Every structure is written in C-alpha cells, then in structure tokens.
Structure 1
Amino acid sequence: MFDQTRVSKQVWLTGQLMCWIVVLLAMNGICQAADHPNIIIVYADDLGFGDLSCYNSEAPYKTPRLDQMAAEGIRFTDAHSPSTICSPSRYGLFSGQQIFRSTGRGGGAFEGPGGPSYLKPGTLTVAQMLQQEGYRTGVFGKWHVGLSWFDKDGKRLGGGFENSLLIDYEKSTPLIDGPNTRGFDESFVTPNCPNTDPLYVYIENGMVATPASQRHDPKSLPNPGGKWRWDNDAGWMSPGYDFMNADLLFFEKTKAFITEHRQATPDKPFFAVLSTQIAHAPVLPAEEFNGATEAGPRADFIWELDVLVGRVLDLVKELGIDEQTLVLFNSDNGAETLHVNWMRHDHQHDPSDGWRGMKRDAWEGGHRVPFIARWPGHIPSRQVSAQMTNTTDIFATLASVVGVSLPDSAATDSFDMLPVMMGQQNESQSIRPHLLTQSFRGEFQIRQGSWKYLDHQGSGGNNYDVKNMQEWAIPEKAPDAAGQLYNLDDDPGETNNLYFTKEAKRKELQALLAKLKASGRSAPKNRTPFRTLVPSAR
C-alpha cells in the first residue's frame, strides 16, 4: 500500500540533506577563498639587475621601500626574464611559457596597432587560472603583448606610425584579444609602451573612450638633463593623454580596484598586476619626483617606482590584509643601452651591476633581473636565494600558492618556486635543472648549473660596432665558434668562450636545448602544488 506520509518524510529528509550539502560546499568555498592570499605583481620595465640598492650597494641613490620589501621577504640573485625585450617577456609572465611556444621562434616588441596578441585563444593565462579559483583579477599599465585593431573595411592592421590613424574604433572595440578576454575582470592599459610608441591611448575594459586623433610633439614635454626624453615617438595620441603622470595614474587605478574590491567582496581574493613604464625610455618622472635624487633623471624615475611600491605595501596594511597578501616584484629585461651608457658616464652607476650586456643582449646583463617576494607569515624574512629562476616560474608558483595542479598543456616553461620562497628548499639543490632564455632576435640560451650555452654568435641583440657601444665591446677569444659556452662560476663576465675547449659540455647543452625545443616543454609533467604538501611557515 502506498504510504504518502513516509514518502513525504523521505522527500523532506532528502531536501534537508541537499541544503546541508549546499551549505557545506558554500562554507568550503569561503574557507578556500580565505586560504587563498591576495596577489599583487609589480612589473617594472627595463630595470637592470643593479638598479636597486638592495642588489647594488654602490648605487648612487637608494630604493628604501624595495629594500624594505626584500628585507621582509626573499630576494633572488639568479632571476631572469624570459626574453631581453618587452613583449616576449610579458607573454612569459602571463602564459608561463617562452615566446617560441606561441610564435615558433622569437617575438618582437609591438608598436602602434601591432598584433594579434601573442596570447592565443586556448592558452591558459595566469589570470584565467586564478579566476577559476575565485579571484577577481585586474591589470593596470603597460600591456604590450599585441592587440587586434581593424580599419573601416574590417582589415586587421599592422604596426607602425601610419596605421595608427587607420583604426576604426567601432570595429575594433571591445578588443577581441585584450586583457578582458585573457582572464582579467578589470583592465586599464596602454597598448604598448605608454610613452614611447606611436599609438598613445588608454584602454579601459576593452574600450577606447578617446581615440588617437592628435599628433604628439615630443618637444612639448620636459627634457630633463638635455637627453633623457630620447625615444618619445612623435606618434598619434588621444586628446588629454598624460605622459608625465602615467605611472601615478596606473597606481591610482590599481588602488581603486583593490579598495573597491575589498569593500564589495572582502571574502573573495584579488589578483592585481601593476605594470609600470619605469624605467623604460623616455625618462619622464612625475613632477613631484624631479630632483628626488642626486643621480639624475633616471635615478629620479626609479625613485618614483620605489615610492609606488611603498604605496602598494602601505595600502595592504591600511586595508588590514598585509598577512593575506603576496606581493611580487620583477622586471621584464635589463636596462636600455643609452641609459646604461649615460648612467655609467654621468653618475658612475652600472645598471647591469658588472654583468656583461644590457637590454636586447643574450649576456647576463640583458636578462638577469631583480625578483623579490613578500608574504608576511608565510615567506620568512631576510632571505637571499641564489636559486636559478625565470619570470615564467611565477605562473606555477602562484598555482602552487592556491593549490592548483596545472595541466601538462599549460605553463610549459614554469617551475614552482614556492618551496624556495617559504624557506623549505635546500639551496644546494636547484629547483630548475635548466633554464631557457631568448634574446632580441629570438635566439636561444640555456643554463645548466653554472654552465651557459648561447646558440649563436655575438650579443644576440645590440650592435657593438656602433659608436655609443664600442667602448663596452669585449674581444671575442673564439671568433670562429658558431656559439658560446661559459662557466659563470669561473667567468661571470662571459669573456672566455669555451666552445671548442669544452666540447663535451657544449654538445651536451646543444642536445638538451634541442630536446627542450622539440618536446614542447621545459617544465616537468604532473606538477604537484607544493603548498598542498607542506604547511605555511607561520
């Protein structure tokens, strides 16, 4: 006989059980969100290894807030950018991969309406990974990984000066491959270098409020020191575009994103990237920073960067989230050639800090960069690590922070550096068995321990025969060699090419490079998040 009372009771119990499951899942989500730290990346531009006083005690100026950040966390002394120029390094930051994974070889720096994006559809970005973990994400400042712009006929435009005036903004926006289609909930960016390239516009959430319609005259800007305005193109700009206060604007946008997020959804973590133009040419410190140091306009510019980092650190303290916020600081490549030249001559300051080379070069000065991480209560203070690492490693490290096991198809050149940051890795045991970098022309370099092989002749970037570079040229001891082999322990200046004398090591590294290029990855498969294995160092 059908028992309606019994069935109703079973339905009621099932409903109650389902409610409790929903509640428990929701509570678990809150716990996960609470366990996930907020994450901020400050990504500097053309900042050399020796440009911070915590790296270079001989610098003719100080960077007290970055020095503080390093003292309160970890400073890496063997950190590298994926490339020796802007756009490919930014691809490495966002994708966890070397640029040849996207292009097949190298990758230039975009100018004007250049594109499409190096971040192709289907490439998992670090922002998308964090979005999937419940983060609200934002990027503010220099984008520079390529964008798709179209003319009135719907034809995709290439880069350059003339094409900047051909953009049809109605057909081009919202951008099909801008930050908001690559994992960022909010964005306020410039397409390329904010103060250098021939397309000067602000892009907010994929839209351009004020198209570029005016010709920019570089002579309208201050010219500190008589030369530091160099590389400010006479391009096309939006009316009201602010060259002098670009980084202050980017910081204010970052601050607003963080503050408003904390007010609206304090239980949800955020991920913010502050991508500065400092210290890229032209050197245009905001007015309040002019004369802040006694080492000229570029030092004033770096002082401005230091102040902005300090404001980021102060903001998280004011919001009461200091111990819940991981802050990373990194640079996209070494210092610009003329900047290195002028700083060495005018102020006895070496942005490369003794390493051979500078921006565009495959030698250490082109890609050895500052890397600092701070997370109170998790990253022990006053650590200095000689672990070999790459900007691409930020992806796997953040995945580890939030307990994500990355698919083998994603971030294929990214290694988890969290055990190093948390002080739980033996310094004598390298996380990375090898390290790939690429120079200006896309040529490859590979490190294995102290051994470095350059799969090309010369610098890989700059021409040391031109007048302003000749004095920094070093005679080649093996001019007939097709490549270069150095032992950085014995020869940190990369002056003694062992290509012929250490043939076995050279062939070993050549074979390893060929294998890593052909395999589609340099990172291990089946990566397990370190943070799920080891508790935090509180």
Structure 2
Amino acid sequence: MQQPHIIYIVADDLGYADLGCYGGRGDAVSPRLDALAQGGLRLTEGYANSPVCSPTRFGLMTMRYQYRIRGGLEEPMGSRTRNLAAMGLPPHMPTLPSLLRQAGYATALIGKWHLGNPPAFGPLKSGYDEFFGAYGGGVDYFTHCANNGSHDLFAGEAETHEVGYLTDLLSRRAVDYVERMATGGKPFFLSLHYTAPHWPWQTRDDARTSADLAGRLFHLDGGNVHSYHRMIQHMDEGIGWLVEALRRKGVLDHTLIVFTSDNGGERFSDNWPLVGGKMDLTEGGIRVPWIAHWPAVIPAGSVSRQHCMTMDWSATLLEVGGGQPDPAHPLDAVSLAPVLRDPSHRFERPLYWRMNHRQQRALRRGDWKYLKVDQHEYLFNLAADERERANLAPREPERFAQMQADWLAWNESVPPIPDDAAVSVGYSAKDMPQR
C-alpha cells in the first residue's frame, strides 16, 4: 500500500463528551467531527498521556513516556518553570515528524508547540519542515499575545503579525498546506494542533474584549458554556474546510486523519459520565476523544473499546507511514495499526500515569484501575463504575496489592520527579462542584 497522507489534529482542553459523537448534550457543536467519526473509527476508552498539556505533547512527539525527558516532568512548562530557557524537547531526540521525514514525508506543524522556545528548541529543530503557530501554552485569540504580554505567533522562527481569529488562521493555513502539498509527489504529515477551546474563552465575535484581557489570560471571571461551545464550533468548521480541501484534491480516501485532545476538559467542558478534569488522574482528566478516518482502510461506523494513549497513536502513524523507530530510543508506545484494519481487534495495553500535583498515581489494566490521590488509594472496576465511586480495594485486596506493586515497579523504570519541577496552581476541575 502506498504511504498515506497523515493529519494529526489535537484540540486543547477538550472534554470527553463535548462532541456530539461522544454524547454532547449542548448545541450541535461538532457536525464535521461527528461525520468523520461516522465515516471512520471512534474509540470510547482512549486516553491522553497526561492530564495537562505539555507533558502529553512530549509523549506525542517521542512515542515514549514523557517522564523520560526533563521538560516532560513540568506540569506544564510555563511561568512557574525554573530555568525555562533550558527546558524543552532536545533537538537530538528522534520524533514522530523526524522519523516520518526519514521515511520520505514532508512535515509541518500548524498550531501549538509548547515544547520549548528558540534558539535551543522548536519545531524546525525537531523534525518539522514548516511551522506556523504559537510556541507557548495559551495566547489571546486576537492579539496573539501570551499571558506575559509577549507576542506569540510565528512563521518558522520569525515573528508574524497576521490579523484574525487564531483558530481560523490555523485552519486556513492547514487548508493552504494541503492545497500546496496534495499533488506534490510525496506524502505529507501535517500536525494541526489547535489552541481551542483553551482559555481565554473568546469567539470570533469577541475581538472587542481582547484588550480587556491583556496580561491576564488565565482568569477565572470570564467565559461561559455558550462561548465555549462556539469555540468548538469554530474549530469544527475549520476541520470541515480541511476535509473539503482533501476531497477537492482527490486525496481524502488515502489520508489518515486522527483527532484527539491533549488532556481532559476544563471549567466549561462536558466530561459526562466521567469525574474530574484537567490536572486530575480521575477519568475526566485523561480520557479523551479519539477519532480516526481513513476511508481506504477503516470501515465506516466503527467503534472500539481498545485502551490506548497519545503516544500509541503516534507509533501507529509512524508504522502506517513506513517509518522506523530509532533503536537507541526504544518506544514505550504500542501501534494500533491492527485496530485500524479490524476495529474488532483488541489487545491488553497497560497504561501508567503519575502527577506531582496532589501526588497522583494511576494504572489501567483491562477493566481495572488503580488510583492514588494525595494519601488516598482506590481500586475501581471501570466497566461497572466509570464514575469511580465504588472503591473495591477492601473487597479485592490481592488485585489491589498487585496493581499497586505493578505501578511501583513501573515507576522505578522512569526518572523520578525532581524537587524543582513546576506544578500548576491554576484552575483545576477538582475545584468544580461534582454532578
């Protein structure tokens, strides 16, 4: 089979049930993404590598647990990170785009990077041929300034001052890339990493409020569920533009599109029936949408309960693109390529997490989940209790002890969290009243 074009779309802080195809209970915010799910594969028990943004992106890029890289131990990298100039994705590290480029792909990142700033770090140093977007975590959608007031919109490593709503700028850049590359004679890999629906909560109609938020993008007094839904609608519309460009160029059937979120939802998101959200290792913080669309390979209308996390999907893209892992950096990820070809195929995939924030630990194996938050430990059967309400540790002491021991053994295989690692003290879904 010829190498497919590959598009890896990542939303920012999108909740598990925000999309219609995942049971969203609000307005119809995602008809294009719902159509991709209907025409392809939807996973119901897929996860992010972390409940916070930059660690997940380290896992996405390296196909290894983010804890193996110093920058991946920040929760996330940002204003509280010590020696921020020294933190980032090392340019010598093999990455999904660099390995696909070795396999013959043209590569581009459009959108959010959040893995370290130039001159030491950046997309162009880690496997991408082209970059347009923001280096940091969150930016104003109109001024394109970060929380400290610095401008954060770049074309390559050059600052650019384009006018417009950021989500639309990213979508139109992606369309332009497809139109340039679709008939270029080589396959392309496009990472389209939106900042939506991450704060500040601004829609296309909110340009007038942008100046009022200058210097305080991380605020707790703004936004509402209606503006949040509109932000998802804007992103969904842009994805529709991209799909139409692929169709217009005659390459849609031979393009693998994967869509997800970097972590669970935040203050206005819908994670039902899950508990918790961003910053939490409860299900609402790490279980996220996963949609894959590839008409030439994936049967339409497929649904899978296969367990997976972000880095597994990156390994999947590497395999279907014909790339090879670097033997000096063995992958922690497991390719899901067999699931794409036969969505009824399932295999056991243990998943491990840890967070310095609230000293959290988690392990999922099969239907069971071991969880520790602060000094409290739990054992849940998620097949029967997705809301993580019935602690079965007293009833299942042997299973609890075994999963606890397995987590501790895994933890010995990755570097420890250093004492100076930054922990976000901002808004967390744990502060929300639960349903």
Taking structure 1 as the reference length, what is the TM-score of the superposition?
A: 0.68
1:10-409 counterparts in 2 under 5 A? 35-56=2-23, 58-103=25-70, 106-111=73-78, 114-148=84-118, 175-192=119-136, 193-195=138-140, 197-198=147-148, 199-208=150-159, 240=161, 245-262=165-182, 266-287=184-205, 296-337=226-267, 339-340=268-269, 351-409=270-328
- How many angstroms apart in 2 are the aligned matches of 1:106 and 1:520? 11
Aligned match for 1:446, one of 363, 370, 375: 363
Deviation of the 1:502 alpha carbon: 2.3
- Call closer, same or farther: CA 1:283–1:295 in 2, change over 3 Å: closer
Deviation of the 1:241 alpha carbon: 6.6
- How many angstroms apart in 1 are the aligned matches of 2:85 and 2:354? 20
Aligned residue for 1:531? none
- Call closer, same or farther: CA 1:80–1:409 in 2, change over 3 Å: farther
- How many angstroms apart in 2 are the aligned matches of 1:391 and 1:62? 24
Q: Secondary structure at the match of 2:58?
A: helix
Q: Secondary structure at the match of 1:373?
A: strand
Cα contact 2:115–2:121 (8 A) shared by 1: no
Q: Secondary structure at the match of 2:317?
A: helix
- Call closer, same or farther: CA 1:490–1:408 in 2, change over 3 Å: farther
Aligned residue for 1:436? 352
- Call closer, same or farther: CA 1:508–1:257 in 2, change over 3 Å: same
Residue 391 of structure 1 aligns with an amino acid whose one-letter code is T
Q: Secondary structure at the match of 1:41?
A: strand
Per mean C-alpha deviation after superposition, the further-off stretch among 137-146 and 502-511 is 502-511
Unaligned runs of 5+ in 2: 141-145, 209-223, 416-435
Q: Secondary structure at the match of 1:94?
A: helix
- Call closer, same or farther: CA 1:289–1:495 in 2, change over 3 Å: farther
- Call closer, same or farther: CA 1:118–1:446 in 2, change over 3 Å: farther
Q: Secondary structure at the match of 2:201?
A: coil
* 1:476-509 alpha-carbon deviations (Å, 9 max, x no partner): xxxxx64222111222111122334422112211
- Call closer, same or farther: CA 1:296–1:57 in 2, change over 3 Å: closer
Unaligned runs of 5+ in 1: 1-33, 149-174, 210-239, 341-350, 458-480, 522-538
Indicate the structure whose relative CO is greater, using CA pairs within 8 Å and at least 6 residues apart: 2
- Call closer, same or farther: CA 1:509–1:122 in 2, change over 3 Å: farther
Deviation of the 1:261 alpha carbon: 2.5
Bigger Rg, structure 1 or 2: 1
- Call closer, same or farther: CA 1:104–1:289 in 2, change over 3 Å: closer
Deviation of the 1:46 alpha carbon: 0.5
- Call closer, same or farther: CA 1:289–1:79 in 2, change over 3 Å: farther
Cα contact 1:124–1:411 (8 A) shared by 2: no
RMSD over aligned Cα atoms: 2.6
Q: How many residues align?
A: 389
Q: What percentage of aligned pairs have identical amino acids?
A: 29
Q: Secondary structure at the match of 2:408?
A: helix
Deviation of the 1:301 alpha carbon: 0.9
- How many angstroms apart in 1 are the aligned matches of 2:234 and 2:151? 22
Aligned match for 2:384, one of 490, 497, 502: 490
Residue 430 of structure 1 aligns with an amino acid whose one-letter code is F
Q: Secondary structure at the match of 1:392?
A: helix
- How many angstroms apart in 2 are the aligned matches of 1:89 and 1:241? 28
Cα contact 2:50–2:56 (8 A) shared by 1: yes
Q: Secondary structure at the match of 1:511?
A: helix
